């Protein structure tokens, strides 16, 4: 298998012709890719389509308050930005889009059912992995498409629900970020230098899934031995016990999928307890999700973070200005740097919107839910993060990003340097194969 990452310079830019061809010349698709300047000569091939006048009603459930809102509000900003761009560019096949946002905490099913009862055309979210798993049977029963923003447990579509129609997920799933972490660790330290590893991960489906996949990957690539694995409660107020154990074992690599307030807590207590003197490297797939909550002293040390399918500096802004434009827009509008969770919301809306417009173009009328679901399978589209596809398994596939945690004075927020971009095919199994089997075959 190929494991090498690419850098921004390798990934190349995209010219106008390629872009317009890829997105089918759709004004909406180009606008959502962040390339409205390319629309000057565009033609509206959807003018004659039989499309209702009413606006599209959509709903997003995400964490809007409390510790998880560090991620959830970013997803909200992303979805709102996509909807704003859709409406500023004439809507989807001429239909404007409305978005209702509700707090997802503990009410995943109720929220989805409420959206359906309200007659929503599409729903987005949730962030929670366990919440997403809980929702899938209901989504299939109600037959109203849901594009999940996160909820990234790998077994969801590989094993638990391998044959779904209306349930989709945009963000990269766990295997992609866990294996990106493995490859990043190997690149930084070298396979021969990694003899031991440890993990501190949140104690629920996501954290256990991430640790399992990281363990499989790093053991396959380096033969390293696990010396400690702790699972603090999600939203815990204290990780000192786990950090003490890690310090005692002094592993070469520590893996942590802690996110939100847990990620900040890990770094705070890690620094206070000298963890970064005891270990060679910390790799965390979603540490950068807390970019706007980290202080400059926290990013000091051998800390590398993933940024799922979007890091605002990649593709390189000198070749792909939509990302730079997006950062400016988000900082002006919301006063934050957009993280991968922003893209979770933005991309979920964009996936559905571009698929809907494609369906209208094909059918000459507004599609039924089942027809739109069919178009979403194997659907490819651009966002400011680059190119994405929704696979036949209903899972989104995009590049995975990983880089060294650092500080940006310009943005007054954490940033990533030396960012590696891992192609989806290098960090996820081929169609029809489970992640565990695929990694086992290395």
Partner 1 sequence: MLEHVLNGLYYGSILFMIASGMTIIFGVLGILNLAHGELYALGAFCAFSIVGFVAGQVAAPTGPATTIVFGLVVLAGSLAAAAVLLPVGGALEAAFIRPIYDRDEVYQLLLTYGLLLVLTDVMKFVWGPSPVDVGVFSAINEIPTTELVGFSYPSYNVLVILIGVAVFAWLAWFFDRTKTGRIVRATAINREMSTAIGVSTDRMFTLVFAIGAFFAGFGGAMVSIGPSSASLGMGLSWLVLSFVVIVIGGLGSLKGAFVGALLVGVSSRVVTPYYPQLELAVPFLLMVLVLLVRPEGLYGTWGEIQ
Q: Which residue has the tokens 């790799």?
A: 283
Distance of alpha carbon 106 from alpha carbon 277, whole angstroms:
39
Burial per residue of 322-344, b for 16 or more beta-carbon CB atoms within 10 angstroms, e otherwise: bbbbbbebbbeebebbbbbbbbb
| Residue 269 is a binding residue for partner 1 (CB under 8 A) | yes
Interaction pattern, residues 72-91, with partner 1; x per rule: CB under 8 A: -x------------------
Q: Which residues pair with 390 in a beta bridge?
A: 379, 396
**297 versus 433: smaller Cβ distance to partner 1:** 297
- Which of 344, 338, 353, 341 lies closest to 396, judged by CA? 344
Q: How far apart are the two ends of the chain, measured CA to CA in Å?
A: 8
Six token digits for residue 178: 């866990």
**272 versus 392: smaller Cβ distance to partner 1:** 272
Sign of CA dihedral 343, 344, 345, 349: positive
**164 versus 243: smaller Cβ distance to partner 1:** 243
Spatial contact of 80 and 124, defined as CB atoms under 8 Å apart: no
| Residue 274 is a binding residue for partner 1 (CB under 8 A) | yes
Specify the 3-state DSSP secondary structure of 65.
Answer: coil
Q: How far is the CB of 275 from partner 1 (least distance, A)?
A: 11
| Residue 229 is a binding residue for partner 1 (CB under 8 A) | yes
| Residue 64 is a binding residue for partner 1 (CB under 8 A) | yes
Sign of CA dihedral 33, 38, 40, 43: negative
Six token digits for residue 341: 């969770």
Dihedral angle over CA of 311, 316, 317, 319, nearest 10: -140
Residues 157-176 that bind partner 1 (CB under 8 A): none
| Residue 345 is a binding residue for partner 1 (CB under 8 A) | no
**236 versus 361: smaller Cβ distance to partner 1:** 236
CA angle 150, 153, 158 (to 5 degrees): 120
| Residue 202 is a binding residue for partner 1 (CB under 8 A) | no
Write the CA distances from 263 to 148, 234, 302, 385, integer angstroms.
Answer: 22, 10, 15, 23
| Residue 272 is a binding residue for partner 1 (CB under 8 A) | yes
Q: How far is the CB of 330 from partner 1 (least distance, A)?
A: 15
| Residue 244 is a binding residue for partner 1 (CB under 8 A) | yes
Spatial contact of 385 and 32, defined as CB atoms under 8 Å apart: no
Q: How far is the CB of 248 from partner 1 (least distance, A)?
A: 8
Residues 100-139 that bind partner 1 (CB under 8 A): 105
| Residue 231 is a binding residue for partner 1 (CB under 8 A) | yes
Residues 32-51 that bind partner 1 (CB under 8 A): none
E strand or H helix at 101:
strand 97-103
Binding residue for partner 1 (CB under 8 A) from 7, 110, 241, 441? 241
| Residue 435 is a binding residue for partner 1 (CB under 8 A) | no
**61 versus 167: smaller Cβ distance to partner 1:** 61
| Residue 232 is a binding residue for partner 1 (CB under 8 A) | yes
Binding residue for partner 1 (CB under 8 A) from 265, 330, 337, 349? 265
Q: How far is the CB of 245 from partner 1 (least distance, A)?
A: 5
Specify the 3-state DSSP secondary structure of 424.
Answer: helix
Residues 4-33 that bind partner 1 (CB under 8 A): none
Spatial contact of 256 and 229, defined as CB atoms under 8 Å apart: no
| Residue 203 is a binding residue for partner 1 (CB under 8 A) | yes
**52 versus 274: smaller Cβ distance to partner 1:** 274
Q: How far is the CB of 369 from partner 1 (least distance, A)?
A: 32
- Give the interface with partner 1 as residue ranges (CB under 8 A): 64-67, 69-70, 73, 105, 203, 228-233, 235-238, 240-242, 244-245, 261, 264-265, 268-269, 271-274, 293, 295, 297
């Amino acid at each position: 298998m190929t494991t090498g990452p690419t850098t921004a310079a390798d990934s190349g830019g995209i010219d106008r012709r390629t872009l317009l061809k890829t997105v089918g010349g759709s004004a909406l698709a180009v606008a959502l890719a962040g390339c409205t300047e390319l629309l000057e000569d565009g033609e509206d091939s959807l003018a004659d389509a039989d499309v209702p006048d009413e606006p599209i009603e959509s709903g997003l459930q995400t964490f809007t308050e409390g510790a998880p809102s560090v991620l959830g509000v970013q997803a909200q900003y992303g979805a709102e930005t996509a909807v704003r761009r859709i409406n500023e560019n004439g809507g989807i096949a001429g239909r404007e889009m409305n978005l209702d946002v509700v707090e997802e905490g503990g009410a995943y099913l109720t929220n989805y059912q409420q959206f359906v009862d309200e007659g929503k055309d599409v729903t987005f979210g949730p962030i929670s992995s366990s919440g997403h798993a809980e929702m899938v049977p209901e989504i299939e029963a109600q037959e109203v498409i849901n594009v999940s923003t996160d909820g990234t447990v790998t077994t969801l579509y590989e094993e638990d629900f391998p044959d779904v129609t209306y349930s989709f997920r945009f963000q990269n799933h766990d295997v992609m970020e866990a294996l990106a972490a493995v490859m990043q660790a190997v690149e930084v330290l070298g396979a021969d230098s990694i003899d031991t590893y440890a993990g501190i991960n949140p104690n629920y489906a996501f954290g256990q899934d991430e640790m399992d996949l990281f363990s499989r990957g790093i053991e396959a690539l380096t033969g390293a031995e696990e010396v400690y694995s702790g699972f603090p409660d999600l939203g815990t107020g204290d990780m000192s016990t786990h950090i003490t154990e890690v310090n005692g074992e002094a592993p070469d690599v520590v893996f942590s999928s802690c996110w939100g307030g847990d990620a900040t807590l890990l770094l705070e207590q890690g620094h206070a307890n000298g963890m970064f003197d005891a270990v060679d490297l910390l790799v965390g797939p979603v540490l950068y999700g807390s970019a706007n909550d980290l202080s400059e002293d926290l990013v000091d040390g051998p800390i590398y973070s993933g940024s799922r399918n979007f890091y605002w500096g990649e593709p390189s802004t000198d070749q792909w200005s939509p990302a730079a434009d997006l950062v400016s827009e988000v900082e002006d509008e919301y006063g934050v740097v957009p993280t991968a969770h922003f893209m979770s919301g933005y991309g979920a809306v964009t996936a559905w919107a571009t698929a809907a417009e494609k369906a209208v173009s094909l059918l000459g009328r507004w599609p039924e839910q089942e027809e739109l679901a069919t178009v979403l399978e194997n659907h490819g589209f651009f966002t400011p993060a680059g190119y994405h596809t929704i696979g036949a398994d209903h899972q989104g596939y995009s590049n995975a990003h990983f880089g060294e945690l650092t500080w940006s004075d310009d943005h007054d927020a954490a940033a990533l340097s030396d960012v590696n971009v891992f192609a989806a095919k290098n960090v996820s199994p081929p169609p029809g194969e489970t992640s565990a089997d695929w990694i086992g075959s290395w």
